[in-house]
Structure 1
Amino acid sequence: MDPLFLGAIVAIATIVVLFSGVSVATGLLIVSAGFLIVFDGMSSLSLLPEIFFGKLDNFALLSIPMFIIMGAAIASTRAGADLYEALDRWLTRVPGGLVVSNLGACALFAAMSGSSPATCAAIGKMGIPEMRKRGYPDGVAAGSIAAGGTLGILIPPSVTMIVYGIATETSIGRLFLAGVIPGLLLVALFMAWSVYSTWRKRGLEVLAGRSFTWRERFEIMPRVLPFLLIILGVLYAMYGGVATPSETAAVGALLCLLIAMIIYRLWSFSSLWVVLRDSTRESVMILFIIGAAGVFSYMLSSLFITQSIAEWIGTLDVNRWVLMLAINVFLLIAGFFLPPVAVILMAAPILLPIVTTAGFDPYWFAVVLTINMEIGLISPPVGLNLYVINGIAPDIKLKTILWGSMPFVLCMVLAIILLCLMPGLATWLPNAVMGPAV
């Protein structure tokens, strides 16, 4: 059977299995085992355990549960509320300052926790009611928090970037640095749109909050600064050559737990147990998907599907930007239905050789891919963040949240266009800090 035709059958079968309701990892294992049995016989199954666990035999994977514990410790405290309140106190007299402070809080909390739903929940519980009380449109209030929550998968330290680095065997340190400037660019675009939209609908002069004294502004800073210092310390340790990503993640997780216990009195065993239980659950889910994706990739390679697709695309006489447009459309559609980790593990190993052959930088492509995944988090039919916001503010219709998030989707598309026009936005900082990629 022609490998390309077989690849189309595999794609259809994978979609059908995943839409049947089984978990992503289980679905990938079912499809992989099924096609290997049909084309290579039952004996091929004897290799699957070795491939599955071999994919997990990677020291860098230790950073995933550590960063997840780091985020869970922060999310279990009032750190999000304190971060929101601190920014509100400093920006309250700025026209449209509340929505700006909410987006800033989302960006910082997302960087600390690495979790999009946790960011939406932590910042949205306080931010959305306060914005509505001050007269901000429901769409701006809900959409800004939904979009702000997505920043966690781009701004370092990002679990998504770690997964990409492991899947494509690229430097995790470079990937973190590549996401910094595009992440800040997205924050700026989100803020600019929110302020403009607010001004257009209500006028900024009615949205300024009450004044805070300098004493009130500084008194809350000791609650926020330790977490920010941990993030800066983790990044310094990685880029200063002090420790590996896995080692810095472990130290960061321990420090976040200690700060949660000391500053926020997270002393009870039940509270700590919830942090460790939820972290273990999420870590196992991600690692299970990584192992299953390794088996899936082996199946595609064993049946010569991966090689045939790469060879077929290489023979296409199309402009490389047309090729990149097609790849972005594919990623966008995949992100509508699958979580970012699953898309990266399934698609990145196949797409990366194609992308690099076409002359694109692999770290630049990682940022473009991640922004596509961010779009999926606030787009139907899955759109996880939309449902989190709807749970926080059930009186805001899902349709209103969706339409409120659409301008932020356009901001992400604009960011991708700017990255295509100026790839240095993603590549300059890694090259400046770590030298040109070999």
Structure 2
Amino acid sequence: MDSLVQGLIIASFAVLLFMSGMPIAFALAITALLSVLVFLGPGQFDLFGKMVFDSINDFGLLAIPLFVLMGNLFGGSQASRQLFEAGEAWLSRIRGGLAMSSVAASTMFAALTGSSPATAAAVGRVAIPEMEKRGYSARVSTGAIAAGGTLGILIPPSVTLILYGIAAEQSIGQLFAAGIVPGIVLALMFCIWVFIAQTLDMRRAESEGVKTGGQAFARAVKRYTWNERFTSLLKVIPFGLLVAAILVVLYRGIATPSEAAAIGALLVGIMVLGIYRGLTGRGLMDVLLDTTNQSTMILLITAFSAVIATVMSYLRIPQDLAALVSEMELNRWVVLLIINVVLLVMGMFLPPVSIIVMVTPILLPLIISQGFDPIWFGIVMTINMEIGLITPPVGLNLFVLKGIAPHIPLKEILIGSAPYIVVMGLAIALFSIFPEIVLFVPELLYQ
């Protein structure tokens, strides 16, 4: 049987299990087990357990539960409120400034959580009620939070980039360095759209007010003194110093990602209890339980996806796919476009973790054969995963927002989030045309 046909059979069976509604980890486990039995033979059944063990017997994976713990500790404290208030103090006078401060808070919060749903939930709980008080529409407020939350998997430290680095055998430090500038650029692009969206919203509301004889749209603006603005920054300084310290020890090679995550988790615990506060004994227990649940889910998905990838590699599916594309003599940009479309479709149904671990070993030979940089591709792939977080039918951030703001119709959240899909698509195009935007920092730090 042709290797590509075998790969199609494995993929089709996995999709059927995903559509059944069973947990992703279990669907991948069944697919992995049957792939070993069918394509390697019943005599190789004992390899299944060995491959599962080998796939997670990696010191680098220890960084995942530790970074998840860091994010959950911050999410359970008052850090998100203080970050939002600092952003509001500096941006509230700008049109759409409150929504921009949500994006800014999400950007900073993402730098320590590494989780998009956690970022959207933590910032959204604080920001959405405040924006509603100031007259922001549900579309503008929820769209900014949903999109800002996606930055959690791009801005380092990122669980997604750690998994990509392990799957692609690339430097996690370089991937973290590569995510800094694109994360900032994407946050600025989000803010530009917030300004446009708020302007359109105000004009629409004013027009409706004139037609109906009602009051024109008005938005209350909370005014801050310069003293209050600089005081708000003091609350962010410990947070900023911790992020900077983690990144410095990583980029200088002082510590591995796992060691940096361990130190970071310890310092975050001290900061949350001593500075940001908000965690009671019960709250701390909830944080630890959530961390255990999330980490177990990620590692199970990682283990079983890795088994599937190993079987596909044994069947030479990645190599044959790369050879087929080379024989077709397609333009490298056409190949990249096709890959992005496939990733976008997958992101609509699967979480980023499973896609990264399962697909990276297949796509990497193809990407390298087309002359693309694997570090650069890791960032492009991650942005594509961001799009999936706000794309129906399984856009996780959309349902997180619906959960914390049940009074807002899901339709309004979808409409508010949709333009950011285009913004992220433009960002992918920008980084494809100018890859030095992505590669500048890693080349500077790792020459």
CA–CA distance in structure 1, aligned partners of residues 36 and 62 of structure 2? 30
CA–CA distance in structure 1, aligned partners of residues 321 and 383 of structure 2? 24
Q: Which residue of 2 aligns with 1:163?
A: 163
Aligned residues with identical type, % of pairs? 46
Confirm or deny that 1:404 pairs with 2:416: yes
1:67-86 mapped onto 2 (5 Å cutoff):
67-86=67-86
1:259-278 mapped onto 2 (5 Å cutoff):
259-265=271-277, 268-278=280-290
Confirm or deny that 1:234 pairs with 2:234: no
CA contact (8 A) 1:96 1:207 kept: no
CA contact (8 A) 1:92 1:208 kept: no
CA–CA distance in structure 2, aligned partners of residues 352 and 378 of structure 1? 25
**Offset of 1:85 from its aligned partner?**
1.0
CA contact (8 A) 1:332 1:373 kept: yes
Q: Which residue of 2 aligns with 1:137?
A: 137
CA–CA distance in structure 2, aligned partners of residues 213 and 24 of structure 1? 50
Deviations 1:194-235 (A, max 9, x none): 111211221699446121223333444443321221111100
1:8-407 mapped onto 2 (5 Å cutoff):
8-202=8-202, 206-207=218-219, 209-265=221-277, 268-407=280-419
Deviations 1:13-60 (A, max 9, x none): 110012222222222221222133233332111111111111112111
165-174 or 31-40, which moves further after superposition? 31-40
CA contact (8 A) 1:56 1:287 kept: yes
CA–CA distance in structure 1, aligned partners of residues 162 and 414 of structure 2? 29
CA–CA distance in structure 1, aligned partners of residues 245 and 165 of structure 2? 21
CA contact (8 A) 2:163 2:356 kept: yes
142-151 or 22-31, which moves further after superposition? 22-31
1:62–1:401 Cα change, 3 Å: same
**Offset of 1:90 from its aligned partner?**
2.1
SS of match in other structure, 2:104: helix
271-280 or 190-199, which moves further after superposition? 271-280
CA–CA distance in structure 1, aligned partners of residues 429 and 279 of structure 2? 48
Which segments of 5 or more consecutive residues in structure 1 lack a partner in the other structure? none
Deviations 1:417-437 (A, max 9, x none): 1011101111111001111xx
385-394 or 73-82, which moves further after superposition? 385-394
**Offset of 1:409 from its aligned partner?**
0.7
CA contact (8 A) 2:99 2:131 kept: yes
Which segments of 5 or more consecutive residues in structure 2 lack a partner in the other structure? 207-216
Q: What value does the CA root-mean-square deviation take over the aligned residues?
A: 1.7
201-210 or 189-198, which moves further after superposition? 201-210
SS of match in other structure, 1:93: coil
1:301–1:92 Cα change, 3 Å: closer
CA contact (8 A) 1:52 1:292 kept: yes
**Offset of 1:330 from its aligned partner?**
0.4
322-331 or 54-63, which moves further after superposition? 54-63
**Offset of 1:268 from its aligned partner?**
4.3
CA–CA distance in structure 1, aligned partners of residues 432 and 66 of structure 2? 33
SS of match in other structure, 1:427: helix
CA–CA distance in structure 1, aligned partners of residues 279 and 201 of structure 2? 46
SS of match in other structure, 2:345: helix
CA–CA distance in structure 1, aligned partners of residues 91 and 322 of structure 2? 51
CA–CA distance in structure 2, aligned partners of residues 289 and 378 of structure 1? 21
1:311–1:126 Cα change, 3 Å: same
**Offset of 1:337 from its aligned partner?**
0.4
CA–CA distance in structure 2, aligned partners of residues 25 and 300 of structure 1? 18
TM-score (norm 1): 0.95
CA–CA distance in structure 1, aligned partners of residues 11 and 84 of structure 2? 44
**Offset of 1:6 from its aligned partner?**
1.9
**Offset of 1:265 from its aligned partner?**
4.1
Deviations 1:394-424 (A, max 9, x none): 2221111111111111100000110111011
CA contact (8 A) 2:317 2:362 kept: no
Deviations 1:132-153 (A, max 9, x none): 2222222111111111000010
CA–CA distance in structure 2, aligned partners of residues 356 and 208 of structure 1? 53
CA contact (8 A) 1:124 1:392 kept: yes
CA–CA distance in structure 2, aligned partners of residues 208 and 193 of structure 1? 21
CA contact (8 A) 2:139 2:413 kept: yes
1:251 partner letter: I
**Offset of 1:316 from its aligned partner?**
1.7
CA–CA distance in structure 2, aligned partners of residues 229 and 39 of structure 1? 51
SS of match in other structure, 1:270: helix
**Offset of 1:96 from its aligned partner?**
2.6
